[in-house]
Amino acid sequence: MPTLEIRRGLRVDTEGRTLSGYASVFDRPSLPLTDGRGRRFTEFVERGAFADSIRAGGAWALWNHDAGEVLARHPDTLSLREDDIGLRFSFELPDTQRGNDIRELMSRGVLSGEMSFGFRVIEDKWTERSNGLVRNLRKVDLAEISVTPEAAYPQTNSAIRNRRGVAFLRRRLRLASRAKV
């Protein structure tokens, strides 16, 4: 069975209870990563990588990759879809201690709304370039997305939905699209 891998990245604004944004963006570099053999590489997620997982359903929204800290599940309470930018998600933070803690920590700026995703590789491509090793994720089995305090993909964004949050998300996406690869 393939190994579960975790990738981090996202930003969030806070008001309301609906958390939405991108758990992954397409064709943008990760921060430097290291594989199980100690090789350093940069990773890109290709368009369509999550499509089969979305159709199959069953992915979770978690707190910090902890299966004991469930926030939502696709397709019942977690919406997942691919668009031109990446893996778009949306879910209502549950009225639980963890859901309330996440909202409060985001509103105080303690959590900046970073997100992560856990997956198993179905198809990838490794390339040696002049600036180092590159891995393209072509098809993955998405296990979960997580609210987390760390990020591997700094270009991703999310917001707790309201008018201010939508404006914040659009601003962040414009800035991210201007960032050099």
64: containing domain: 4-178
Q: How many domains does the chain have?
A: 1
Q: Please state the pTM of the whole predicted model.
A: 0.79
What's the pLDDT band for 163 if we cut at 50, 70, 90?
Answer: very low
What is the identity of the amino acid at 9?
G
pLDDT in tens, 77-128: 999 999 999 999 999 999 999 999 988 888 777 877 778 899 999 999 999 9
pLDDT of 13 > 50? The answer is no
What is the identity of the amino acid at 37?
R
Q: Which of 115, 114, 119, 113 lies closest to 144 in space, CA to CA?
A: 119
pLDDT in tens, 145-161: 998 887 666 655 555 55
